[in-house]
Structure formats: C-alpha cells, structure tokens
C-alpha cells in the first residue's frame, strides 16, 4: 500500500491497487465532512462513488455534497447491513464491474462499519475488514471506512488499526503501524471460544460412522432446537456441506458438537486432518462462479450462519459455526 503523506483524506495517487483506509474522526459532523470530501474527490476523478452507510449517514453525506449527490449511489450491504460477508463481496464485484466500464474505471467506497454490541457480529466485522485486503487485492478500488472515536468502543478502534494498512487522522494519511497480515488476524479471531462451549453440548459424537448418519443426527438436533423452519433449513444445509467437506477432504475420525441456550446455537465439526490452514476460505466459492463445480461448503456456511471460525490444531481441523436464533414468533415454528 502507499506510504505516508498528507493531503485530502482518502486522496488517491493512481494505480490499480486496492486502497483501504480507516478515517478516525471525533464526531458525527467530522465524519460527514471527511466522507463528503472523499466522495467529492472521486467525482472529480471520474470514479464510481458508493456510500456503504446506514440511511441517516448517507442522507447527511448527500446533504453535504449538495448538487453533486445525484450521481452517488447507496448500498448498505457493503457494510454488512442486511447481508453477510459473501453477499457483500458479490455486491462489491458487481459495482466494480460497472466502475470499470465507465469513467476512471475505479470504484470509490465510503463505508461505515456497523460495530454493534453482539460479540459475534463484532468478530465478523473484523473478519470482513481484514479479509477484504485479500479478496480485493489488486482491484481498482479506493475504500475509506469511517470510525468515530467518540462513539465506538476501544475494541473497534484497535480493530481499525489492525485491519487497515492506512489511517487518516486530522487530514493526514499515515501507514498503520498496528496493521496485521489478514490470515494472522483471522486465526486470532477464530481462537476466541464461544461462551456456550463452556457448557455441556446438547449433541456430541466422536468418530461419526458415515456422512449420512451425521447429517441425519444434525437434522434431528436442529429440528429440536431451532424454532424457525426457514432458519433451520438454512443452518442444516450449511452444516451438512461442512460435514461433507470433513468426510471427503479431511481425515477421519470426524466428530461434532452442538451447544445452545435457546438464544444462540454453536456447532463444531472436527476431522483428523491438520494440513488445511487458510482462514480466508469461504468468502467466495472455491471454484469461482461455476457453483456446479462444488467448493461451496464454507461459502454457504458464511452465507447462512452468523459466524464461521476455522481452527487448525495438532489434534485436527475444526469448523465452528455459530448464530443467533430467530425467535419463534418470526417463523412458522418447529416442523
């Protein structure tokens, strides 16, 4: 990534490489001012500017832009509003295709990471921010993520410095000394245990005899503990694919555990292999857009569960899936 310097926040010096900057601001007004300046620069350069913000922030930025706001697009899915990371990646790829077909050929994204209070959500925001440095590498994209130091917890600000190669403070761009290689950061996030894992599982099997047996067991467990029928079907589809990966590409024995407290559910699938160690897997299908070629297991898991951790250890490889359960009133109830 480019080195230190000064000038307009988020200013681009050209080139095709992905630029990923965190702007650390001290108020909502400063956030809007920095965002508007960033977008205005993109408009002057012929970039395709997109606001990946919640509606209130997008409206404020549009008001600051005035007449120039008409050509600026919005898509909050970029900052994981109503979308999980694989869905956001699809949105980014489509926007990039449009940007490359006109103007400067460059996509300019103003993002407002939605940190929230759920630890699971926070892990996924960090994971998405870190992984974007890999799956967007080399793409003609200039992205600025705005972090309000007065509103966000310290954990979010620490994460911003670790997941962005560059920082902007008071209009000055500097390299982030705390930036960490994405794969290393993701391994660290995966090492954090879910609190439910401290209790007794509602289901446990070691050395599952066959894939159909394990899939059937997991279906029965989910039928009992997941009240919403649509969510239950989604969770089972994804965990079945993860189990298939363990049997087909891992090494036996294959074991599984499920924990739940009625509000969330956690499932781990472990095989005896130790060679797979790529925590970035699953943000895009393993074989590209040809879904018929397979390689969808971890991609589906990231699409259908709130959080996916990949853990390689001396005793095997584990995929941990966790998600918040949809309340019974939101669905048709147990089948």
pLDDT tens digits, one per residue of 187-222? 888 888 899 999 999 999 999 999 999 999 999 999
Residue 1 has pLDDT above 50, yes or no: no
H/E run at residue 205: strand 203-205
For 66-74, what is the mean pLDDT?
89
- 173: which DSSP letter? E
Residue 269 has pLDDT above 80, yes or no: yes
Whether 166 and 1 have beta carbons less than 8 Å apart is answered as yes
Q: Taking Cα atoms as reference points, which of 108, 96, 97 lies closest to residue 47?
A: 108
Between residues 69 and 225, the one the model is more confident about:
225
The alpha carbon of residue 157 and the mean position of all alpha carbons in its chain are separated, in whole angstroms, by 17
Give every CB contact of residue 42 below 8 A, 6+ residues apart in sequence: 12, 48, 49, 106, 108, 142
Instruction: Scan for tokens 């809007």, then name that residue.
Output: 32
Least confident piece of the model among 28-42, 145-159, 318-332? 318-332
The angle at the Cα of 127, spanning 123 to 132, to the nearest 5 degrees, equals 155
Alpha carbon distances (Å) from 87 to 43, 72, 167, 185: 26, 21, 26, 22
CATH level 3 topology of 201-330:
Heat Shock Protein 90 (3.30.565)
Instruction: Scan for tokens 């697009």, then name that residue.
Output: 73
Q: Is 115 helix (H, G, I), strand (E, B) or coil?
A: coil
State the pLDDT at residue 286.
Answer: 59
Starting at the edge strand found earlier in the chain, the sheet holding 316-324 runs 203-205, 255-260, 264-271, 316-324, 307-313
Whether 166 and 176 have beta carbons less than 8 Å apart is answered as yes
Query: Around Cβ 275, how many Cβ atoms within 10 Å?
Result: 9
pTM of the model: 0.86
Categorize the per-residue pLDDT at 292 as very low, low, confident or very high, splitting at 50, 70 and 90. Answer: very low
Taking the C-alpha atoms of residue 195 and residue 221, their distance in angstroms, rounded to an integer, is 20
Mean pLDDT of the chain, nearest integer: 88
Residue 84 has pLDDT above 70, yes or no: yes
The residues spanned by each domain of the chain are 5-188, 201-330
Whether 304 and 234 have beta carbons less than 8 Å apart is answered as yes
Categorize the per-residue pLDDT at 256 as very low, low, confident or very high, splitting at 50, 70 and 90. Answer: very high
Q: Taking Cα atoms as reference points, which of 24, 297, 316 lies closest to residue 145?
A: 24
For 154-180, what is the mean pLDDT?
95
Categorize the per-residue pLDDT at 293 as very low, low, confident or very high, splitting at 50, 70 and 90. Answer: very low
Architecture of domain 5-188: 3-Layer(aba) Sandwich (3.40)
For 270-289, what is the mean pLDDT?
74
For 318-326, what is the mean pLDDT?
95
Binning the chain into helix, strand and coil, the percentages to the nearest 5 are 45, 20, 35
State the pLDDT at residue 14.
Answer: 47
Residue 132 has pLDDT above 90, yes or no: yes
Taking the C-alpha atoms of residue 266 and residue 308, their distance in angstroms, rounded to an integer, is 10
Taking the C-alpha atoms of residue 308 and residue 298, their distance in angstroms, rounded to an integer, is 8
Alpha carbon distances (Å) from 33 to 13, 51, 108: 21, 14, 16
Classify burial at 288, counting beta carbons within 10 Å of its beta carbon; exposed 0-12, middle 13-18, buried 19 or more.
Answer: exposed
Alpha carbon distances (Å) from 167 to 4, 13, 127, 217: 9, 15, 18, 48
State the pLDDT at residue 237.
Answer: 96
Q: Taking Cα atoms as reference points, which of 278, 260, 274, 257 lies closest to residue 320?
A: 257
Between residues 310 and 22, the one the model is more confident about:
22
Share of the chain above pLDDT 70, in %: 89
């Amino acid at each position: 990534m480019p080195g230190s310097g000064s000038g307009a926040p988020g200013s681009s010096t050209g080139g095709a490489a992905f630029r990923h900057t965190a702007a650390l601001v001290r108020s909502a007004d400063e956030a809007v001012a920095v965002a508007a300046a960033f977008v205005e620069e993109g408009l002057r350069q012929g970039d395709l500017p997109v606001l990946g913000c919640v509606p209130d922030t997008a409206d404020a930025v549009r008001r600051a832009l005035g007449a120039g706001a008409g050509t600026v697009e919005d898509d909050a899915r970029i900052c994981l509003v109503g979308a999980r990371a694989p869905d956001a990646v699809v949105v980014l790829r489509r926007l990039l295709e449009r940007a490359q077909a006109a103007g400067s050929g460059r996509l300019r994204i103003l993002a407002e990471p939605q940190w929230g209070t759920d630890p699971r959500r926070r892990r996924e925001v960090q994971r998405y921010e870190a992984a974007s440095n890999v799956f967007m590498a080399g793409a003609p994209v200039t992205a600025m993520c705005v972090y309000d130091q007065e509103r966000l917890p310290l954990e979010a600000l620490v994460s911003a410095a670790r997941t962005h190669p560059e920082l902007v403070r008071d209009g000055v761009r500097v390299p982030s000394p705390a930036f960490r290689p994405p794969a290393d950061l993701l391994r660290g996030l995966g090492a954090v245990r879910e609190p439910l894992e401290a209790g007794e599982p509602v289901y446990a099997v070691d050395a599952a005899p066959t894939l159909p047996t394990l899939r059937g067991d997991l279906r029965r467990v989910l039928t009992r503990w997941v009240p919403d029928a649509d969510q239950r079907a989604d969770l089972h589809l994804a965990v079945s694919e993860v189990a298939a990966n363990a049997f087909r590409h891992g090494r036996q024995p294959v074991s599984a555990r499920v924990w739940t407290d009625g509000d969330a559910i956690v499932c781990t699938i472990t095989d005896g292999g130790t060679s797979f160690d790529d925590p970035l897997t699953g943000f895009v299908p393993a074989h590209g857009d040809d879904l018929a070629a397979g390689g969808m297991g971890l991609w589906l898991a990231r699409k259908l569960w709130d959080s996916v951790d990949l853990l390689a250890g001396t005793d095997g490889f584990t995929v941990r899936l966790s998600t918040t359960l949809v309340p019974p009133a939101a669905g048709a109830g147990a089948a």
